[in-house]
Each structure stands twice: as structure tokens, then as C-alpha cells.
Chains A and B, each alone.
Chain A
Amino acid sequence: MEISEAIERFRGPLTGLIVSWGAPIADASELAQDSLADAYMSRKQCVGDVTSPDVFARWLRGFARNKFRNWLRGHQRRKKYVATIASEALEQMSDCEPVSVDPKLQQLREEIDRLPAEQRQVILMHYLEETCVKDVAALIGVTPKAVEGRLYQGRRRLKQRLEQLSDPGIVLRALLL
């Protein structure tokens, strides 16, 4: 598998996968770049047929997981010793024009974050870029059917959650009870 094809095929789902593990998007993107570069450079050591996208996806996932774990260890160490600044504060300090945020989309993003891990993972991988279900499945090592099932459940749960939140009666009943 050529590097350009690998980038095109796995850029979105890999970034989504790393985000689903808990890395912020900026770090996830960088981790995905590192993983792709390392996996491609070491492809000769892969015991399987690395020209097959399925095999390369599994090979790539191993690198990504190791990279993420290293990042997580470093992140935890940094959190321990360095005073962190909230991202909102950083935005306020920057000179950039404030970006208008659609409250509906913001709410949807929050609900995606609250999804069960498996559903959240496939939602992020599939919809971050329009990635085919087969590539998502190859990257997480499940069947395409399983991915479709998780996407279906995730979308249904999101719909239910947002409907509940938009219905004031439901919110009131929940508060009273």
C-alpha cells in the first residue's frame, strides 16, 4: 500500500479513533501522522501482506495505540507537574476573531461525547471524514456489519437524547422526579 493511499484511506478514521481514546483533536491529528509515518517505514517488518488494506490497518492500529499510550503517559506527567490553562482562557487571550458556535451542534458534540465507548468510536471514525464502513472495521478489527450496527445504535441514541433534551416536559418531569 502506497503512503498516499494510506493517508487518504486512514487519515479520518485514525484521527477519530485516537480522539475516541481520549486525545484532544490537535494531539490526535499529530499522533495519527506519527503513526502513519512509523507504520509505513516499518512495513517490511510486518509479518502479514502489508499491501492488503486490512493488514496495514491492523499494523497501523498497533502503532497508533502505542503512540497514544506514550502520549497519555507524558500527558499525565505534564498534568502532574505543570499548571494547565483552560482552553477557554486561551481562546480569550488570543487575538483571533471569536467563532460563532451553533448551540445545536455544540449540544450534539456533547451528546456524542456521552455515547458508550464503542458507539462513540465508530461515530467519530465514520463521520469525521466520510470514511467507508469497511475501513473503519479494518482499523478496529471488527466486521463491517458490527460497525453498521454500532452506528445505527449510536445515531438512535443521539436522536433519543436530543429529543428528550428539546422536550421541556421531559426535562421538567425529570427534575420533579
Chain B
Amino acid sequence: MSNEVPNQLMPEDDIRAALRIMRPDASEFAAAVHAKLRHLSQRGGDDPSLTRSTLDEPAWLRVAASLLPVQVFGKSIASKGASVAIAQLSFGQKVLAIIALPGVFVLLASLVVIWAFLQLRKSVLRQTGDYIATDQMMQASQRISSMAIGLNFAILAGLLLSYFGGVQIPAAAFFLAPAFVLVIVVSQLANEQLLDRRIVGSFCAVLLGFMGQVLVLMSLTAVGTPLLDQHLLNVIALLGLVVVVVLLKTNAFGRSSQSLQNHRQQVRSNRLVVVFALCGGLLAAAWFGRSYWQPVTTAEMQTYVESFDKAKFGSSSWEDWSIPARWLNAKGVELELERPKRALATSIDQKTFVPSIVNYGIDMGILGPAELSRRFDLDFVKRTVFPKYQTPHTRIGVIEPSIRVLNSVGALNDAERNELGRELDSMLWELKSNRVMTSPIRAARQIVELASEIDRPIDTEKHREWIHEMLGSLQSVESSGRRKGGFVAYPQVAASDHRATNDAVLLMETFGVPESVDLLALRSYLRPALSDRFRGLQPRALVRKATQERLESLPDVPGLSWTDYVRCEHNLIMVSLLVLLCIYATLAAPALTQSPVQTEVNAP
């Protein structure tokens, strides 16, 4: 601090002297801090409640979570706690944080919707006239339609900004705006004595129709961690639109003062619209909701596994086949594998044979010892294992088929098993420190399974901690335009991989579920999708289904509770409430008789 104007300023020495009495003793202070550190270390080190997944949540969500009882959030995250430095946020941010919590937000949104219901009812009671002039109705319809379109574009812009602009706004907030606007529109129409079902219904139809399209966009962007296929939102919006159109067209006719011929024509056209809306809307809803009424079943999985007769994409297809096959095997489902056996024989006979496919044959028992002895030169196979000429990281993929072949035919003695057991253990340790150049989850799974197969299992207690840490660090929790919550194949890649996710769940079978893994996000990744049946049942969908069933079978995975759904599905709840509000507004609005001239009652 400089003394530019010394006469005007209090001398620094005087201030120091005045405060000297308060100065902490440096050595005592340091000793006290070290003693506290020792005490904290004995108590268990870092605060376990601050896990990586909770820290990856947005700040407002973590603060909100820290202010509410943990039971509110559901069993699967209850064990994680929600510590956060609340003091870092201002009062306004804290209020926003609480409101932004999905559970609290849905509660508040429900209250808003109830308020909207009451307001709509009040507005309907204010409408006393029975007639509406045609020109007035035209004007009002035009005005309301332009308002609906403007609102929809505003919502679309907000959603795009929220999703692609990185702004952390709960998407459910955008479903509240239409509710408010609907109340304003209905109230305004009631004030002008123009509250007519046709006008309100048209507004609601435009709103829901556009909303349906926006929701398609939302479903594709894969933001958040919903537990259900987000196309269900489209289904609800579409069904709401159908109901509104049907209400509009079945109640609107019969109340006009036009000629009998015109009236009949109107009735016919209305019936056509109703039929079209019912057929088209229901068909579209059925298409969007395919993942619910046509989920992937165990029977389909079994059919896929048994009918697999061609590996379209070589070893990659075999791997996709082996995952549901292994799960069905673990479940005790009797499988008829004659066709896969023939396909495997064909694949092995090819010049471009990839040795790793032998693993899948051995796993499923379709490559027995006799077959293996006949097909492979066991002396040559043995020579590929024991001279250690490969680097450890790439070696596991290379030696795995050889070891499995040798083990299956009983060509490994105890000394060789011991040596391999030690080698596998050291490879696993190596993986702990260097996982850059490999697919670590896959390699760890291969090592653990191989060690178990040669009867030299890995000491799980020794490796549990770092395996848990690795799984936590490789869960993809970032939004990259694709589904998040799964596990990445390589540390450098952000997108989840369905095979790596299955490998991770297999590791969890052995090492338990790490606290750092966000189970809700993982379940979100494994949820069904509309694209599962795009051009036939996709192998990827079967892999996800098998992985999901395997995950749910783990003893330390708690079941989903309704609070988990409230937490993850607030968009669905909000869309449902909005649809109900639109249906109510259309239904409650009176169907006024249309008159060609303006009556005194309707005069503004």
C-alpha cells in the first residue's frame, strides 16, 4: 500500500500496532490446523457425500437438493447426500434454486395449473351472451391465432436457447407460459363477451399442434436424464390435440343460424375432420408410442439370439449378439443355438477371421473342446501366450482368445495358470495408472473374467476402490447432443457406448455399484427409444435391454420410486397438465350461436 498522500492517511504502522493484539500466533495456528487435519483423516478423509455425480449437477440443483429432505429425491439417490456451499449463492439465487428443483417446480407448476383452472372457470361464468356475430368471431379468431403463433415461436426460441445455448433453465418452465397465455386469452374473450368454444378450441389446437412439433425436437436432443422415452410427450400432446379437435367439431355444429343446406354441409365437413383427426392423430400417437406398446421382450431377445445366422459387421455384430445371449444364459433361458453355431463356423473359416469371436463361441458353449482341438493348432496357440512379447495393454485383447482356447481344452497346467494369474493381476494394476491408450472398462472386464475362468480369480477387495473410481470417472454425464448416463469406451470420447456400458455393469456384478455412478442417469441411458425398431429390431436395443435387466438384477441397485419419476419426468407431468388445461378450456367455453349481424348483447 503506497503512501501517496501521507498527511491525509492514517499511518500504516499505527494500524498495525492497533491490530497486533489480535494477530494469531503463527506456530500455534499451524499446529492447530495440522491437528484438525489429522483428526479429519482419522475420521475418514474426504467428505463422502460430495461425490462426483452430485458435483456434476447444475449449481442451482445442488443447492436446492441441499435444502430439502433427501427422501424427496427417491431411494436411488438418497444415499448420495447433497452437500454444497449454499453460502456461495445470493438470496435471489437460493430462491431460484429452490424453485428450479424439479420436485418443487412440479409442485409450483401444479399450483399454477390449478389457479389457471379456477381463472378459466371464473371467465366462463362471466360470459353471459348466447350469440356471436360472424365478423366478430372472424376478427377474434385472427387475433387469437396470431397470438398463439407468436407464443409458440417464443417458446421454441426459449427451448432452443435453453438446450443448445447451455442455459440451465428447466424445460418445464416453457410449459407454464402457454397456461398463463391461455388464461389471459380466455379472460379477454370473456370481457368482450366473445368466449366461444370454436375460438378457444382453435387456440388450444394450434398450441398443442405446435407443441407436439417442439416436443419432437426435444425428444431428439436427448437433454436431461429422463427415465421414459421422451416421445411419450408427443403422444400426450397429440392425444390432447385429437380430443380438442373432436370437442370442437362435434359440439360446434348445430348452433348456427345458417340455412339448412349449409348446416348439413357443415356437419358433413365436421364429421370428416373428426374422422381424420381420430385416425391420423391416433395413428401418429401409436407410432410415437411404439416403445411402450411394443417394448423389447425376452422372447424377442431369445428369437434374435437363436436366429442369428450372419454377422453383418463381423466381430462387432458377434459382440452385439453375445451380450443378450450371455444375459439369457445367466437367466437360465434354454437356447437353441444351432444357427449361431453354423454362422460362427463360417466366420472362423473366413480368411479375415478375427480371433475375438472365439470368445463368444466359448462363452455360449457352441465351441466345445473337441471343436477347438480340431480347429486350432494348440502348440501354436500356446506360443502366442507365454512368450511375453506384447505390451501389457494391448495384450489382453490378443491373448484372451488363446487363453480361453487353452483353458477350454484343458491345456493349461497349474504352474501356467499361476503365471497367468499373476500376469493378469499385474495387467489390472497397470490399467489403474494408464488408461489412456486403451478401452479401460472393457480391458478390466476381460481381465477379471479371464482370471476367473482360469481359476485364479482377481482379489476384488484389492481392486475395488480404483475400479469404482474408474467407473465413476468414465460415466458420461455431459450433454453432447446424445444420450448421456452410459459409459464411454475411451476416456477421450464424451459419448456413451452401449458395449462399454454393458462391460461396466458386468464389472459392477463383481465389484459392486460405486457410489460415484449416477444410477438414474445410467437408467436414463438404458431407457427404450423410438428408434429401437427403426427398420426392424435393432441389435443396439437388445444390448440396452439386456444391460438394463442385468443392472436391475444387481442386489445393490435400489428400485425406482415415484419420486425418481417426479424428479426425472417433470416435462411429462407439465405436458399432461397443459393438455388437461386445454381440454378443460375448450370444454368449459360455451358454444355460442353464430349470427350474421352484431347483436346488442355482443356489442362491446
A→B interface (CB under 8 Å)? 3-4, 7-8, 11-12, 15, 19, 25, 29-30, 32-34, 36-38, 40-42, 44-45, 47, 62-63, 65-66, 69, 102, 104-105, 108-109, 112, 123-124, 126-130, 133, 148, 151-152, 155-156, 158-159, 162
Contact across chains for A151 and B1 when beta carbons are under 8 A apart: yes
B19 at the interface (CB under 8 A from A): yes
Known A15-B24, A38-B40, A128-B23; contact A7-B33, beta-carbon cutoff 8 A: yes
Known A3-B34, A32-B24, A47-B55; contact A63-B14, beta-carbon cutoff 8 A: no
Contact with A along B21-42 (1 / 0, CB 8 A): 0111010011011101100110
From residue B330, how far is it (CB to closest CB) to chain A in Å?
37
Contact across chains for B55 and A45 when beta carbons are under 8 A apart: yes
Contact across chains for B85 and A162 when beta carbons are under 8 A apart: no
Contact across chains for B17 and A105 when beta carbons are under 8 A apart: yes
Other-chain contact of A62, B16, B23, B88 (Cβ < 8 Å): B88
Other-chain contact of B22, A7, A25, A41 (Cβ < 8 Å): A25
Contact across chains for B24 and A152 when beta carbons are under 8 A apart: no
Residues of A within 8 A of B41 (CB): 41
Other-chain contact of A69, B36, B47, B87 (Cβ < 8 Å): B87
B46 at the interface (CB under 8 A from A): yes
Contact across chains for A155 and B9 when beta carbons are under 8 A apart: yes
Contact across chains for A128 and B46 when beta carbons are under 8 A apart: no
Residues of A within 8 A of B88 (CB): 62, 65
Known A12-B23, A123-B15, A127-B15; contact A4-B10, beta-carbon cutoff 8 A: no
Contact across chains for A19 and B22 when beta carbons are under 8 A apart: yes
Contact across chains for B47 and A42 when beta carbons are under 8 A apart: yes
Contact across chains for A33 and B33 when beta carbons are under 8 A apart: yes
B→A interface (CB under 8 Å)? 1, 8-10, 12, 14-19, 22-24, 26, 29-30, 32-34, 36-37, 40-41, 45-47, 50, 55, 85-88
From residue B560, how far is it (CB to closest CB) to chain A in Å?
27
Residues of B within 8 A of A41 (CB): 37, 40-41, 45-47
The 10 closest A-B pairs by CB, nearest first: A62-B85, A37-B36, A158-B10, A65-B87, A45-B50, A155-B9, A108-B18, A159-B10, A155-B10, A105-B18
Residues of A within 8 A of B33 (CB): 3, 7, 33, 36-37
From residue A150, how far is it (CB to closest CB) to chain B in Å?
11
> What is the CA–CA distance of A19 and B30 in the complex, to the nearest angstrom?
19
From A104, which residue of chain B is reached at the shortest CB distance?
B14
Residues of A within 8 A of B8 (CB): 156, 159
Contact across chains for B87 and A33 when beta carbons are under 8 A apart: no
Other-chain contact of A126, B1, B24, B87 (Cβ < 8 Å): B1
From A64, which residue of chain B is reached at the shortest CB distance?
B87
16 contacts between A and B (CB under 8 A): A3-B37, A11-B24, A11-B29, A11-B30, A32-B29, A37-B33, A42-B50, A62-B85, A108-B10, A126-B1, A127-B19, A128-B22, A128-B23, A129-B23, A159-B10, A162-B10
Residues of A within 8 A of B36 (CB): 33-34, 37
Known A7-B33, A62-B85, A156-B8; contact A124-B45, beta-carbon cutoff 8 A: no
Contact across chains for A158 and B47 when beta carbons are under 8 A apart: no
Residues of A within 8 A of B1 (CB): 126, 133, 148, 151-152
> What is the CA–CA distance of A145 and B33 in the complex, to the nearest angstrom?
31
Known A11-B26, A15-B24, A41-B46; contact A152-B32, beta-carbon cutoff 8 A: no
Other-chain contact of A29, B17, B29, B87 (Cβ < 8 Å): B29
Residues of A within 8 A of B86 (CB): 66
Residues of A within 8 A of B16 (CB): 127, 130
> What is the CA–CA distance of A8 and B34 in the complex, to the nearest angstrom?
13
> What is the CA–CA distance of A29 and B269 in the complex, to the nearest angstrom?
83
> What is the CA–CA distance of A112 and B18 in the complex, to the nearest angstrom?
9
> What is the CA–CA distance of A65 and B86 in the complex, to the nearest angstrom?
10
Residues of A within 8 A of B17 (CB): 102, 105
From residue B285, how far is it (CB to closest CB) to chain A in Å?
43
> What is the CA–CA distance of A162 and B18 in the complex, to the nearest angstrom?
13
